[in-house]
Each structure stands twice: as C-alpha cells, then as structure tokens.
Structure 1
C-alpha cells in the first residue's frame, strides 16, 4: 500500500519513506500497547503482519532505502528487521519514533482510541488519563526528522513507526492544525508513505 505526500521542492536534504509496522499481535488482540515496558519486549508481528511484509517486499515500488531507523518496540523492530535483511542493511533504533503513550489506557481495549482522538480534536495539548499529547508527539517526531536532516544528505531513509505518531507527523509537515490529525485517512499496517523529496 502506498501513499504519496508531495513536499516543497528543495526543502529537504534526504528522501523519506515513512512506514507503519505490519499487523501486530496487539492489533489482533484489540489491545492498546503503548508503553516501552510492554511494547519493546512483547506484542510483535502477527502471522498476517509477516505475510504483509512478504507481499510488500515481493512488489517493492519505492526507492531502495540506504538506512532504516525504527521505533524500538517489537512490532516495529520486527518490521524493520525483515526489510533490512532483504536489502542487506543494518537496523538503527530511534526512540523518538516510538508509539504514542496512551497512559491509563495501556493494556485496555482499542475502543479507547476514539475517546482520546475526540479529546485531541478539542485540544491537541491535552494529557487526559496520562496520554502523551499530540503536541508532544509532533515535537519528538519532528526532532527526529530535523536531526536526520542535519546529519545526512542525499540519502533515502526508511523510518518505521506507528499509526498515531506518523499521522501526527504528516499533519505537522502539512502545516495543518495538529488537532485535525485524524482527518487524514488512517495509515494501514505495513503501508509506506513517501515524502516526495529531491
């Protein structure tokens, strides 16, 4: 699955491929796994997620990545590892690409996402029930991109992250109100969004 995100010509030093991890055991079980305590060691890819990656690599239609940076959660690490193995690259963990932390909803049913997103639409700075705010997620995701822009040039970088952080990052890059991050079409598991950069 592909999404194209056009960017202003000449604005970037690198080309970016933003990837949501493949379908995970947390997706399969319908639970929120957003803390490093649970997400780094557990809840990796489901069988469906591994099949998604096999299909993606069999029909790869993007630039070949030269570096792969990923959230250190198991589901993103396993996604990145499969692609790194295919292209002969090494993995580079980047904690700023982690899942958005959902506070008191950790381990609860994923129906609670809708409650958080409704609050996001009213106030992107809210921290209801200990949830990481949209503003905080945008800041760390943008900081990861800005660091790569300072440290590299002319490279194709694959960033493997999670649905909410990527939606929020794309909203920030588009210059839209962060409260509207759910206005974007949700990113599917194992989808890649190309920042159409030079």
Structure 2
C-alpha cells in the first residue's frame, strides 16, 4: 500500500493528505485527525500524560489559542459533522473551539488520550527520545510503565473502526495528541509500528486529512 502524501506547511499548522483504504478497500467516511494546540505542558517542556494531571490541568497556552484563531480563520478542510476528542484538558479545549466555530456538539472519547509515559510523568519532554529509541527496537515494550506503541495503535484504530461501522459519508474530526496520532498514521499506512517516529512530526494545531 503506497499512500499519496501531500505536505504543505503554514505558519501555525500543517496539512498532510493521505489515502489509507479501510478493511474493504475504501473508507466509508472522511477523517480529519487533529493534534491539540500548543499547550501549557509544551510551554513548560514537561511530559503530562496521566489522567491525574492531564484531565484538569495543562490546557492550551496563549500560543495555542492564537494557533486555533488562525486555523479557524483559514479553515480549508471539509466541514466536520462530528467531533470526537481526548478527555485531556488541552484536547478538550481545542475541540471546543472548533465545535463552537461550526456549531457542533462534542463527544468525549478516552481512547484518543495521550500515550501514557509511566515513570516519566511530569519530567522534561527531552526524555521522550529515550522512549522513542526503545519503540524502534520493540513496539510491544512497556518499560517503566510506558504504554506500548502496539497498545496505542490498537485503541486509536478501534475508534476509526467503530466510526466506520456506525456512520457513512460523514466528515469526522478526531482531536488527539502527537504520539498517538503518529502511531495511528503509521499503522494505517501498514508500516512497522517501530517506525512511527520516522514520520514528519505533527505540529500543534495541525490537521491530517484521511
């Protein structure tokens, strides 16, 4: 399977268009995968991946709000009909801004949560590199309580599979986090999950169109 990729960079967001067939060879719906806007965790350079910290704290930064202002003012994708989002504060705030803009309801979807980074919680985000190096060796590894790449891929893909079973000919926006989205895209491409960091990193407030 060879995806048709188009990458276009803008000031605060990026568009990447990919075609990934579903199980029967074609998607029933159109999907927009969105990474949350720049967050307070990004601003502080901290890993915030647990519900204990992420559900009620570390929402969008002022930069993140500005990114969403620009994104919505220059929206160039299909109008979403449904919005599902991770229940972390930064993704909930991102989804709420988009929903308000289009006059849509929101659906909380915990399976779209941030990847849990175990013992690294609250530490410097420079330590992500340690986890990614281990991911490249074994995508099923759970060292230090870190959620395995394979587990992230399974829960993320399950959301799309469920939408495919329930709906048809809709544009569905899924608001999630950087690592989970890159893992999902790697899985949909049919590439080895150990290669998920070889993809172009998804910028805050970026949208990837399937």
Whether these two folds match at TM > 0.5 is: yes
- TM-score computed with the length of structure 1 as normaliser: 0.97
Aligned residues: 195
Residue 168 of structure 2: aligned partner: 153
Structure 1 Cα separation of the partners of residues 82 and 19 of structure 2: 21
CA shift, 1:145, in A, is 0.7
CA shift, 1:7, in A, is 2.5
Structure 1 Cα separation of the partners of residues 21 and 102 of structure 2: 29
CA shift, 1:168, in A, is 0.2
Structure 2 Cα separation of the partners of residues 146 and 100 of structure 1: 19
Structure 2 Cα separation of the partners of residues 8 and 68 of structure 1: 21
List runs of 5+ in structure 1 lacking aligned partners. none
List runs of 5+ in structure 2 lacking aligned partners. 1-13
CA shift, 1:6, in A, is 1.8
Structure 1 Cα separation of the partners of residues 158 and 98 of structure 2: 24
Q: 1:8 aligns with which of 8, 16, 21?
A: 21
Structure 2 Cα separation of the partners of residues 56 and 147 of structure 1: 28
Q: 1:120 aligns with which of 135, 154, 160?
A: 135
- TM-score computed with the length of structure 2 as normaliser: 0.91
Higher relative contact order (CA 8 A, sep 6+): 1
Q: 1:93 aligns with which of 108, 119, 122?
A: 108
CA shift, 1:155, in A, is 0.5
Residue 145 of structure 2: aligned partner: 130
Runs of 4+ residues deviating >6 angstroms: none
Structure 2 Cα separation of the partners of residues 60 and 2 of structure 1: 11
Structure 1 Cα separation of the partners of residues 201 and 178 of structure 2: 7
- The C-alpha deviation readout for 1:137-172, integer Å capped at 9, x for no partner, is 000001111011111111000000000000000000
Structure 1 Cα separation of the partners of residues 38 and 62 of structure 2: 8
CA shift, 1:58, in A, is 0.4
Structure 2 Cα separation of the partners of residues 172 and 8 of structure 1: 12
